[in-house]
Amino acid sequence: MSDPKPNELIEKIDYIPPQKGWMDVPVNIRKGMYCYASNPKSVEYVHLPNARAWNPIEEDWKLPDNWKEIVHTAFRDRLDRFRSFKVFMDICVRCGACADKCHFFIGTGDPKNMPVLRAELLRSVYRNDFTAAGKILGKIAGARELTLDVLKEWWYYFFQCTECRRCSVFCPYGIDTAEITIMAREIFNLLGLNIDWIATPVANCYRTGNHLGIQPHAFKEMIEFFVDDIEEKTGVKVDPSFNKKGADILFVTPSGDVFADPGTYTAMGYLMLFHYLKEQGLNVTWSTYASEGGNFGFFTSHEMMKRLNSKMYAEAKRLGVKWILGGECGHMWRVINQYMDTMNGPADFLEEPVSPITGTKFTNARSTKMVHISEFTADLLYHNKLKLDKSRNDNLIVTYHDSCNPARGMGLFDEPRYVINSVCNHFHDMPRNTIREQTFCCGSGSGLNAGEDMELRLCGGLPRANAVKHVHDKFGVNMLATICAIDRAVLPPLMDYWVPGVGVTGLTEMVANALLMPGEAERTTNLRGEPLSGMEE
């Protein structure tokens, strides 16, 4: 089955909801809009319950007999453990401010993709099971009983939310649908209802240290392949270290960048940057055990997030490093910024991060002891520690996509822009309503970057792509920069579909292209092997 054409997708979008009330419209699990069910082997590997083969489009989901009881107990438990969940269940006034803020609603027009209604799917059952008004007045109070169809509706729509938190910016009470989606997915996991695009990376990460299941020797080989590639393009042989005890800094980045283009060029960028700084005293090591920055456990449950995240501190402790440097990744940074220290800290065996090159103390990371590569690089650039030839990036007209998690779960806005402006001459931001805290999701976050849900991804990515198209048409933008590995994997097909002619890059790739490496040969191509500006035949 081929994907629908852009105009076919657009024609389907209708923001006017149907006549029939939403409780009376049954869920229709449609091909192209959902991800395949979890592989039971992956579920079993991490000891999660109710592992079995099942299929979302079949009538029988092979649920455990007491599934309703499981849901009810789990619901209650989460109300008691998370104030966010309890308050968000109670205080929504359905003002509708969030309705047209969700990229999935904008791109599909499906009313159940309005954040308010997505939450109401759960809230209606909450009213029925846990509130006096709902118990007495029933449907009049907006309550409904949990049935198999309701569960299926939950599953379909809570796997059509990327936990991007854009709605929470506009909500007058800060109700965060991501929080509600997280709870719903925790409940699904108790019933063995995960999607495989999350469950298998989780099992891989648990076993091999990274989502892709790359074993230690292979991880090293892949990096060494980059080393050869860098030598070929720059004439400089970089020399990374692995699992090295006594290094000062542990570097952790998403494994996606070791695996697939264009993330690989960003990975090469890291290698070149670290090599460049080695002379000046940077002593950094990669780990094969903590070889994943991302955390698909975050899309499974709080507990699974903690289990996978624990490797970062454990490895930092084992290797005896001083602090941790984190690469370009989206949800990885929400986890590090808002969860890691709480879950797996205190990291009292590490030191407050200090840049060995500039002496800058990263006091904002003094407890978690983990610094973002954009903070690190921006500091280097500010102190003129990198010799650059910006004009090498002159063939790029760049715009920047704020990834949801570093945007709304951290506030990392100006560091990456400073880096971009330092290494390239042509930068244009997208319109105000589509960047910074109002940035639009790529449409594939929170584990929805599978192949089988391509239509969903293209719909959800429409608002992002449309803003890129705006600067593409206006300024001739031909490169979309981003600091997220999922973005680097999913934005290229999104661009090809909606805005052909725009490539995708990581920040550090651009840094490395502009970087004047000591002892380098004449650079005629960038890391992708494309001719540099002025070097075209």
Partner 1 sequence: MNVKYMFSLVAVILLFLLAYIGVEAAGLQVLFGIVIPYAAIIIFIIGVVNRVIGWARSPVPFRIPSTCGQQRSLPWIKSSELDNPFTTPGVVARMFLEVLFFRSLFRNTKTTIAEGPKIYFSIEMWLWLAALAFHWSFLTVIVRHLRLFTEPVPFWIALLEKADGFFQVGVPGIFLSGLVLLAAVFYLFLRRVIIPQVNYVSLSQDFFPLFLIFGIAFTGILMRHFAKIDVTGAKQLAMGLVTFHPTIPQGIGGIFYVHVFFVSVLLAYFPFSKLMHMGGIFMSPTRNLTCNTRAVRHINPWNYPVETHTYDEYEEEFREKMIEAGLPVEKE
Q: How far apart (Å, rounded) are the C-alpha atoms in residues 53 and 192? A: 9
Q: How far apart (Å, rounded) are the C-alpha atoms in residues 480 and 207? A: 34
Looking at beta carbons only, is 137 or 516 nearer to partner 1?
Answer: 137
Classify residue 283 by burial, with Cβ atoms within 10 Å: 0-12, 13-18, 19+. middle
Q: Least distance (Å) from partner 1 to the CB of residue 394?
A: 26
**Lookup result for tokens 């002891």:** 369
Q: How far apart (Å, rounded) are the C-alpha atoms in residues 349 and 318? A: 10
Looking at beta carbons only, is 67 or 105 nearer to partner 1?
Answer: 105
Cis bond before residue 262 (omega within 30° of 0): yes
Looking at beta carbons only, is 206 or 427 nearer to partner 1?
Answer: 206
Q: Least distance (Å) from partner 1 to the CB of residue 115?
A: 10
Looking at beta carbons only, is 330 or 463 nearer to partner 1?
Answer: 463
Q: Least distance (Å) from partner 1 to the CB of residue 54?
A: 25
**Rounded to the nearest 5°, which phi and psi values hold at 90?**
-95, -35
SS3 helix, strand, coil % of the chain, rounded to 5? 50, 5, 40
Residue 24 Cα distances to 15, 27, 375, angstroms: 18, 9, 50
Looking at beta carbons only, is 334 or 523 nearer to partner 1?
Answer: 334
Looking at beta carbons only, is 335 or 448 nearer to partner 1?
Answer: 335
Is the distance from CB of 242 to CB of 220 less than 8 angstroms?
yes
Q: Least distance (Å) from partner 1 to the CB of residue 57?
A: 26
| Full DSSP string of 395-439 | T--EEEE--HHHHHTT---HHHHHHHHHH-S-B-PPPGGGSGGGP
Is the distance from CB of 507 to CB of 483 less than 8 angstroms?
yes
The pair of structure tokens assigned to 454 is 């391509």
Q: Least distance (Å) from partner 1 to the CB of residue 518?
A: 26
What letter would DSSP give residue 245? T
Looking at beta carbons only, is 159 or 376 nearer to partner 1?
Answer: 376
Q: Least distance (Å) from partner 1 to the CB of residue 481?
A: 18
Q: How far apart (Å, rounded) are the C-alpha atoms in residues 9 and 155? A: 23
Neighbours of 65 (CB within 10 A): 7
Q: Least distance (Å) from partner 1 to the CB of residue 317?
A: 10
Neighbours of 463 (CB within 10 A): 23
Identity of the amino acid at 144: R
Q: Least distance (Å) from partner 1 to the CB of residue 55?
A: 29
Looking at beta carbons only, is 23 or 260 nearer to partner 1?
Answer: 23
Q: Least distance (Å) from partner 1 to the CB of residue 409?
A: 6
The alpha carbon dihedral of 29, 34, 35, 38 has a sign of: negative
Looking at beta carbons only, is 52 or 94 nearer to partner 1?
Answer: 94
